[in-house]
Amino acid sequence: MILICLPQQPYLAHRPGDHLRPGQAGAQSSSSPRSGSKQQLIEIPLAGDCIHNVRRPDGRRHPSRVFTMDVLLNAAQWVVGKALASVADGVLEAWGATKNLGVNIEALRMELLLVKATLETASYKQVDGPAMQELLGKLRDSALSAEDLLDELDYFRIHDQLHGTYDAADQHAKGGFRDLALNVRHAAKAVGKLTFVSSCYWSAANPTGDSGEDAGQRASCCPWSRARQRPPGNSSSTPNANQEPTLCGGAHREPPMLGFNRVDFSERMRHIVEELEHVRREATQILQSCDRITIPDVSQSRPITTGQSIDPKLYGRDHIMDTIIHDMTKGKYLSNDLTVLPIVGPGGIGKTTLIQHIYRNQQVQNHFQVIIWVCVSLSFNLNKLLEEIKTYIPRVEGEKDGRAEELIEQRLKSKRFLLVLDDIWEFSDTDDWKRLLLPLKTSQAMGSMILVTTRFPKITKMVGTAKHIELQGLESEEFRKLFLAFVFGNEPARSDQYVFLEIGNKIMEKLRGSPLAAKTVGTLLSKDLSLHHWRRVLESKEWETQTDANGIMPALKLSYDHLPFQHQQCFSFSALFPEDHKYSASQLINLWIGLGILQPGARNQTLQLTGSNNLKDLVAWGFFREESAYGYPCYVMHDLLHDLALQVASHECLTVHHSSVRLEEINPNIHHLSIIIDDVDKISLEKLKRQLRKLKASLKVKQLHTLMLFGEVDESFVSILGDLFREANALRVLRLDKISFSVESILHNFSALVHLRYLYLETKCEREMHLLLIISRFYHLRILSLGSWCPNCHLPKELSNLVNMRRFYTLADELHSDIVNVGKLKHLEELMVFRVNKKIEGFEPSQLEHLTELRELGIYNLENIHTKEEAAKTKLGEKIHLEKLTLDWDNERSNTEPGAEAVVLENLQPHRYLQELCIRGHKGSSFPTWLGDKVTVESLHLSGVSWQCLPPLGKMWGLGKVILEHIPAMEEFVIEQSLCKLIRVELVGLGSFGKWVASQDADHMFPLLQVLIIKDCPQLLELPFASQIVYTSDQGQNSDWFPKLQELQIEKCPELLLVAHIPRTETLHSVNISDVKLLDKLEYSTNSFFGGRCLDIAGKDDLQSLDEVVAFSKLAGLEHLYLHKCPALKSKHLLLLTSLKKLMVEGSDGVVVEGSEGDVEWQHPLKHLVVEGEESRAKELTELLTHLPSISELEIIKCEKITQLAVGLDVQQTTSAAAATEVDEKEDDDSGLLLLPSHLSDSLQVLSIESCPELVMVDPTSTFLPARGAAGGGLQALRSLKTLQIYFCPKILSAKSSPSCCPFPSSLQELRVEGVEGMGTLGHLLTAGGQLILLSIGGCPGFFAGWDQELKQQLLNGGKEQELQQLVSPQNGCKLQELYTDDAMGLLSVPICNLLSSSLSILGFFGNQEMECFTKDQEDALHLLVSLEKLMFINLSKLQSLPAGLQKLTNLKELSVYSCPVVRSLPEDGLPKSLQELDVWNCGNTELT
């Protein structure tokens, strides 16, 4: 028996207003899916007291009511607008008419229009209160239901269009009894074919909550039944269709097609219309009694600032303040007529405070004759500003009455003035700024200033005449001082308050240096100095809920309120991404498109362009900051702005993170969810899993429109997420990032996500190819991004069913070439690769005919087009939106037809406004006639063409980029006048290119050029800097060529002489030159990997002097200089490098040689010197060190000619001493003795000596001054030394006076020694007064044995065991924390381990090739190291087992075992419970790894 559900009466559409209300005869009592639960008032932090500006339909703003009210009103208007957009063009309604749903759709459309009108009326009314809020929420929910329903109808419309199905209705049905029969027939058909039911729509058809069994008998109420079979030929090859979906790598089957049920749609539309009408009528009644909104002066909501600061001390801005004051009173602004200096930064960053301190500075007060402070705020009222400025300026004798600007002009005529315009937001008329400046520019005194503060970068561009100053957060130390000042006042924290500082530090990290945040949170903490209060503030971010107008969030929110509604949405939805996320433009814009936020602003404007403009606006308003990551632009958001975005979106957005989510605060109307899984500890991950399990009870998954997963999502989350998202079927945006499991294991109804607009899929599952077939059914999909997934897979031909797709992102552009019948994707904006193949259906040239919305197109394998008719079928000339075009002939083809290829290219003419053109592999003899004549581009790339001459570049006046590659016929580059706009030039593989020629009309040499790249041009002799360039007779050489060059790259041009010295201009920031005359390499960067400016040069034998290639006079800012096989650096050149911090000289003729200055004393503030190579001489280096008083790091590597090292004498002392001794006059000039002058004793902090096999440390007093015994010494004399590294210098300590004494200074904190004999002991380095923190000892046999023996000897000599115990007790002050050694047997003795027991936290045994096991005594000694947190065993080739008793190391957290091939198991007695990480690699038992 089949139970058929029919409507109680046929639904007839009524005129608006005639619908039956609940309770009247014939009215239905069922409700829509979203009305089943009681609506709750949306509670948002900062609600109530915050004022913000809502833009009304006429463009004006008025102050808002309670924040929640405006959010609901705007949200409802947005949703209603989206729903109406579905039926705006009449296409859906016309299709619905063929299914007997036309009147239903029209009724719904009319009701939505009435709701829209009601909401527009509400925007003019003063409405508030819980009742109205609930009604607006209900309207929004009902509108969402309407949007869902219309979206589903449109899905089936597209399906019918694609497949020619007729599931919905008999086209001859006439209504009445036939309609009733039709309903019965379709209901029965749905039951008969029911194999798949979408739970997303179950509640719509099953409001009574029937069980699954009962629901199966009521299948007529579910729209998703299996559709009838598609016609043959429409299916692609897929895996076995009889297998069920499983986890990644398992078998799967193709899910059934979704079927259409007209009865259900009709019923649902009736419910939605009734609900909308009912709520609308109630809202209309309330609005009738509401007054219109009055519009007060919005500027009154902003506090008025003055020149007097309430903060007596300025933290962290002293340098900026001093610089501004100096530039105003003594520096660069003093000679200007009038300077406008903008200071920009987000709210609360300290702009006003900084300017107040400058304004009140006595030096400033004395310098300016008139000082004026005006707080501009939200409204730039020119007349009001002029009046206020006038009141600050004293009257002058004989002034004439007049308008304010006339009086200002008279009074300032001979006076230098300072005008502060604080807090500018916008200009209602951009000319107002120019009018304001008119009377101010008439002052005859030089050096007048206007200081402007603003939140918005766009304001700085409008007003600034000097480079703006952007304030960032305070540096951590200064911010800490400010923060603690607000907490504890001016008094330092007492010892009993230190316990708060750990929590305080965590809070400070979240505030990111914002001074206002320091004030807000510091004041909040100061009210209750208890740990409970401080922890609550930290965990709940309580400062976000502060409603004080001077608090951080209200201050930031004021900027948000100033945005248009569309921009507010763009900003707030960005909170779905993780904090500190580096956004790409595409990530943001695609999300906005997927959510339906963007509305094109002009005719033919794409959603992508609208989104790009919105992003630029948000940057201009300071909500994002543009940066660069890996050479690509990205956008970042300050943490506090991210918190603001989370807050303003909290009524519908939720971000779940192990440290942030509070389930009790989840709003019932959440529609957008992101889950962030960090690489954190197991405890935090378990906490996150518990939160996700609880989330199911409070989150209405059915209504989710957005789901975004960030981070590594492994299989431990599968069951949790699968259970949570079992009913998620209304998704518009889905982002799955780095998942290692089947998509369908967490989204069981993945194939039913028919609403999807944006899908980002980054899966590591290699056997998920069947998903592409499912994705091919998402007809509404606009953005598809597969990330790095399936770069080599083959796309199903059904992918062309995605008729709304605009962007298809893949790791490899080549995947675009796999789209069969791409011509069906008429909205596609990017087709990176289309390969012409006339032999396979779906890849013909005609596929491109109707792709009229393309912005970027690449056509490949054009050798397969032979006639002009075939070429014309691409209709390139009609693609008016096309911006980038690539035309490619395969260079590897065996046969060429020059004549045919010339004809084809001639008929591939694009429209005249094309911006970028690339032509590759064309073997015709000439360029197309349209290039440079009818088509002038901004970027031209020619590669591998066989043209006898180049196109007329001179006709392309807008040309900004030229790339010429592998063009055999090109012998010269003609510099024409029209090329003055070139920004980038690349010349690659031009075997015949040898000269530059300037045309007769050219009076420039690329004045705007920023990038010049030349590679593999063997005939090229010079760059166009040189005098040998070919000029006409009446031309001269312009000395100011390439004035804006930023990047220069030259490779494999062996005959090229680098005439232009580097850097040629101040703008140059990157140079990479290799394999040219004189140089193997020259690399220059202003922002190097090492930080700051860096120059790295490797010379050839012909290089005689560095000034042949380097412009030392322009390198005052250079910080790092590396010289390889170069002539010695002259001292006069070194003195020009005033900012140089590090100098490295390797294999060169010398380090630094004296120049013409002779005996003139000179000094350089160099900090770090590295000398490497056999040619380095001790005498020369000794002399150089006397001129470097600030050296803090010295490295000596592979200097075989340096055989002796002495410390602590000045050169004058050694010279006189050497004269007093009997020295053979025939002795070599350089004795191999390197003398470190005495000033290094106080400056040198790092000393590294490596691979100097003959080097010996000598005592300078015995070597030079035996009779006088002057002060000197070995390494002990370096009393500031903190780090010492000695590698493979076996003899360096062989001459020390006593074998047992410690040869190192007590200041050492890190000591690394390998391959050194006669080390002695560390003595005072490890006992009281010693500072040693890290010790690494290798290849020093007997070192620990001697140390152990010394401790025991003290016991034998003294006879008192208590003295030894005192020496090795933890109270002896030993500070050693890290120890690495290859002598485990020597280290593990009771006295030594007892000495280290309380301090050592990291211990590593490495490189011992003899040790097989640990003895019982060694294990007992190891157990004494109770403070150990990390223990490592590395490269111990014969070690058979780890030491027993490791469980006694109760603080051990990490245990690592690397390359110990004989170790086959962990200790049998177990590991300590404290262990958190076990890392085993390359050991004998594979089970260990």
- The answer to whether residues 852 and 806 touch, using CB atoms and an 8 Å cutoff, is no
188 against 710, higher pLDDT: 710
Mean pLDDT over 206-229 rounds to: 34
Cα separation of 1233 and 1217, whole Å? 14
Task: State the pLDDT at residue 1125.
Answer: 92
Question: Which residues have CB under 8 Å from 1368's CB, separation 6+?
Answer: 1351, 1391, 1392, 1394, 1395
Higher per-residue pLDDT: 549 or 34: 549
> What tokens appear for 1068 in the block?
């140059």
CB 977 within 8 A of CB 1010: no
Q: What pLDDT is recorded for position 760?
A: 93
Closest CA to 1483 of 1452, 1462, 1456, 1467: 1462
Q: So what's the pLDDT on residue 686? A: 81
Cβ(781)–Cβ(156) below 8 Å: no
> What pLDDT does residue 397 have?
83
Backbone angles phi, psi at 650, to 5 degrees: -70, -15
Confidence at 1483, pLDDT banded by 50, 70, 90: confident
Query: Which of the four pLDDT bands, split at 50, 70 and 90, describes residue 331?
Result: confident
Q: What is the C-alpha to C-alpha distance for residues 797 and 822, in angstroms, rounded to an integer?
A: 9
- 1241 token code pair: 């004793």
φ, ψ for residue 141 (rounded to 5)? -65, -40
Q: CA angle 1402-1407-1408, nearest 5°?
A: 105
pLDDT at 1450: 93
When mean pLDDT is compared across 544-558, 700-714, 1470-1484, the lowest value belongs to: 544-558
Residue 215: pLDDT above 60?
no
Q: What is the pLDDT of residue 837?
A: 92
pLDDT at 62: 37
Q: Please report how many Cα atoms fall inside a 13 Å half-sphere around the Cα of residue 1036, on the Cβ side.
A: 3
Q: What is the pLDDT of residue 845?
A: 94
pLDDT at position 1430 over 90: yes
Structure tokens at 271: 């419910």
b/e for 1345-1363, b at 16 or more Cβ within 10 A? ebbbbbbeebbeeeeeeee
pLDDT at 1246: 96
1074, β-bridge pairs: 1051, 1081
Element (H, E) at 1079: strand 1079-1085
Q: Check residue 1273 and give its pLDDT.
A: 60
Question: Rounded to the nearest 5°, which phi and psi values hold at 543?
Answer: -65, -20
DSSP labels for 154-204? HHHHHHHHHH----S--TT--SHHHHHHHHHHHHHHHHHT-----GGGHHH
Helices (H), 888-939: 898-906
Buried b (16+ CB within 10 A) or exposed e, 424-445: bbbbeeeeebeebeebbeebeb
pLDDT-derived band at 1265 (thresholds 50, 70, 90) equals very low
Give the C-alpha separation, 1422 to 1444, whole Å.
Answer: 10
Please report the pLDDT score of residue 769 as a whole number: 65
Residue 567 CA to residue 619 CA, distance in Å, equals 11
Q: What are phi and psi of 845, to 5 degrees?
A: -55, -30
DSSP 472-517: -PPPHHHHHHHHHHHHHTTSPPPGGGHHHHHHHHHHHHHHTT-HHH
Top-confidence residue, 3 or 426: 426
Q: Would you state the pLDDT for residue 551?
A: 61
Q: CA separation (Å) from 171 to 91, 92, 93, 259, 992?
A: 17, 16, 15, 18, 73
Mention every residue, 6+ apart, whose C-beta is less than 8 A from residue 684.
658, 659, 678
Looking at residue 18, its pLDDT comes to: 36
Query: 3-class SS at 1045?
Result: coil
pLDDT digits over 853-883, tens only? Answer: 999 999 999 999 999 999 999 999 999 999 9
Closest CA to 1068 of 1045, 1101, 1100: 1045
Look at 253-262, 1267-1276, 1444-1453 and tell me which has the smallest mean pLDDT.
Answer: 1267-1276
pLDDT reported for residue 847: 95
The pLDDT of 258-275, averaged and rounded, is 86
Q: Tens digit of pLDDT for each residue in 537-560?
A: 776 666 666 555 556 777 777 778
Instruction: Tokens for 761, please give them.
Output: 């899929």
Q: Tens of pLDDT along 178-199?
A: 443 444 344 333 333 333 333 3
Lowest mean pLDDT: which of 132-141, 215-224, 1321-1330? 215-224
Angle (nearest 5°) at CA 54 between 51 and 60: 120
> pLDDT tier at 173 (50, 70, 90 boundaries)?
very low
User: Looking at residue 1028, what is its pLDDT?
Assistant: 39
Read off the pLDDT of each residue in 573-583 and give the average, rounded to a whole number. 89
Q: Pick left, alpha or beta for residue 833 (phi over 0 → left; psi -120 to 50 → alpha; otherwise beta).
A: beta
2 versus 102: which is more confidently predicted? 102
Among the listed residues 343, 445, 440, the one whose alpha carbon sits nearest the alpha carbon of residue 392: 440
Query: Residue 1084 and residue 644: Cα distance in Å, rounded?
Result: 42
First to last CA, the chain: 61
Q: Are 691 and 717 in contact (CB under 8 A)?
A: no
pLDDT of residue 493: 66
Q: How far is CA 323 from the centre of its chain?
A: 31
In degrees and rounded to multiples of 5, residue 518 shows phi and psi of -60, -40
Flag whether pLDDT at 1344 surpasses 60: yes
Q: Which two tokens stand for residue 252?
A: 């799967």
Mean pLDDT of 1056-1066: 81
Of 353-367, 549-563, 596-610, the range with the lowest mean pLDDT is 549-563
Highest mean pLDDT among 656-660, 802-806, 1393-1397: 802-806
Amino acid at the residue 376: V
pLDDT given for residue 130 in this prediction: 78
Please say if the pLDDT value at position 1012 is more than 90.
yes
Average pLDDT, the chain: 79
* Residues above pLDDT 70, as percent of the chain: 77
pLDDT at 1411 over 70: yes
Give the DSSP letter of residue 964. E
Q: What's the average model confidence in pLDDT over 398-425?
A: 87
More confident residue, 1391 or 740: 1391
Judge whether residue 1417 has pLDDT over 90: yes
CA distance 1425 to 1448: 9
**What's this model's pTM, rounded to 2 decimal places?**
0.74
- Asked, as a colleague might, if the bond just before 845 is cis with ω within 30 of 0, I would say no
Q: Do 905 and 919 contact (CB within 8 A), yes or no? A: yes
- For residues 308-325, average pLDDT: 82
Helix 607-620 to helix 585-594 angle (10° resolution) is: 120
CB contact at 8 A, 1282 and 1229: no
- Over residues 116-151, the pLDDT tens digits come to 888 888 877 777 777 787 888 888 888 899 999 999
| The pLDDT value given to residue 541 | 65
